[in-house]
Amino acid sequence: MSHDPKLILSNFQLEGRLIEVKANGSGHINETYVSRFQTGKQEQRYIHQWINHHVFKEPPKVMENIERVTCYLQEKIAEAGGDPTRETLTIVPAVDGCSYYQTPQGDYWRTYTCIEGARTYDQVEELRHVYNASRAFGNFQKLLSDLPGGRLHETIPDFHHTRKRFETFERILEADRCQRAAGVKAEIDFILERQEQTGKVVDLLAQGMLPERVTHNDTKLNNVMIDAQSGEGICVIDLDTVMPGSVLYDFGDSVRIGASSAAEDERDLSKVCFNIEMFEMLARGYLDSAREFLTPLELELLPFSARLITLEQAIRFLGDYLNGDVYYKTHRPGHNLDRARTQIKMVAEMEANSDQMEAITHRYGS
């Protein structure tokens, strides 16, 4: 499914003459486009996104969260002498002043200014990017640690509730509606054998042993803009899932790509390796931002969270494969299965390296 961004452009406060608009990005849920507008000799680019309302059931609440978060970040970045137009997202309002536009057909769109001189990476190309992106995610949590105005909306309830994800997986497996389970027995067993891990973080949160914080919840490497000159992680983007959560969700989710030698959907599993040097950069970058506010228990569980959230991703990808590929965009047959297999390989290798991972987080956490 794809939507025509040209039809919605006139509903936003955009200046100048449209030169072109084209698809951008590799996300699995929303659709992203980039446009070029000309005013006199100046050119301005914008990012336009169709918000998947089948996944984000209440897009106005998503946008309310994003408005609150970006406004607060803008203030803090300005106070610190930074550039709020590059270091956080800037919403371009619709003509009626709203942060989004709803079409007569019920689709939701938003527009941001395009951050120039920076780009995202779907997979690691330079080790310093791992450190810098991870530091940016830690800093994002730090800046939002005192966000005023009460709890953010949960844009997807129980998004990182790993035990509930596991239970959903069991139901999908039971139904086996596409009769695919018999072909992926090893992958299913890998997941089922790890059931007892899935409740750990959510139970500690429910018991008040782990604090709830404002977290990003989708900390893939390609959700940080990397500055073309400095290689710094200048801006955390993709804010749809910013909501109450645990820092362990963010740290954990960043490892599966930030410490992997291959793409999330690599078919050749011999290329998919957990790289301890990359993990060290990632942990150091994160802790250089987050060391000062993490509790001892959060710090202790960082290595576990990497295995847990990677397992959660395997559960979700394999679940979607078994369910007939209804959630994530896929670009080839077996795409979700390929993604699940890379995540499983990463979990297995992280398990084998858990002592070294612990040593690293202890070293940089104190």
Query: From the CB of 214, what's the least distance to Mg ion, in Å?
Result: 18
Contact flag: residue 25 with ligand ADP (CB under 6 A): yes
Residue among 157, 163, 225 at smallest CA distance from 195: 163
221 CB-contact burial (10 Å; exposed 0-12 / middle 13-18 / buried 19+):
buried
Partner whose footprint covers residue 180, from Mg ion, ligand ADP, ligand GN1, none (CB < 5 to 8 Å by kind): none
Binding of residue 264 to ligand GN1 (CB under 6 A): yes
Nearer to ligand GN1, 14 or 221 (CB): 221
Write out the DSSP string of 247-270. HHHHHHHHHHHHTBSS-TT-S-GG
- Spatial separation of the C-alpha atoms in residues 298 and 53, rounded to whole Å: 33
The mark string for 94-133 relative to ligand ADP (x by CB under 6 A, - otherwise) is: ------------------x-xx----x-------------
With binding defined as CB under 6 A, does residue 89 bind ligand ADP? Answer: yes
33 is an interface residue for ligand ADP by CB under 6 A = no
CB 153 within 8 A of CB 59: no
**Residue 85, Cβ neighbours under 10 Å: how many?**
15
DSSP strand pairing (233-236 vs 224-227): antiparallel
Structure tokens at 146: 């005192």
Number of residues lying near ligand ADP (CB under 6 A): 16
- Helix or strand (DSSP H, E) at 205: helix 200-206
Q: d(Cα 248, Cα 305) in Å, to the nearest integer?
A: 6
Among 220, 307, 335, 341, binds ligand GN1 (CB under 6 A): 220
Which one of ligand GN1, Mg ion, ligand ADP, none is in contact with 55 (Cβ closer than 5 to 8 A by kind)? ligand GN1
237 binds ligand ADP (CB under 6 A): yes
Q: Is 336 in the site for ligand ADP (CB under 6 A)?
A: no
Q: b/e for 192-210, b at 16 or more Cβ within 10 A?
A: eebeebbbbbbebbeeeeb
264 binds, among ligand GN1, ligand ADP, Mg ion, none (CB under 5 to 8 A by kind): ligand GN1
> From the CB of 272, what's the least distance to ligand GN1, in Å?
14
Interface residues for ligand GN1 in 311-350 (CB under 6 A)? Answer: 313
Is residue 27 part of the contact set for ligand ADP (CB under 6 A)?
A: yes
The token pair that represents 326 in the structure block: 């209804």
Residue whose C-alpha is closest to residue 93's, from 71, 115, 74, 110: 110
Among 18, 29, 204, 273, binds ligand GN1 (CB under 6 A): 29
212 alpha-carbon distance from chain centroid: 18
Give the binding site for Mg ion (CB under 5 A): 27, 223, 238
Interacting residues toward ligand GN1 by CB under 6 A? 27-30, 55, 218, 220, 238, 241, 264, 313
Residues in contact with ligand ADP by the rule CB under 6 A: 24-25, 27, 29-30, 32, 47, 89, 112, 114-115, 120, 222-223, 237-238
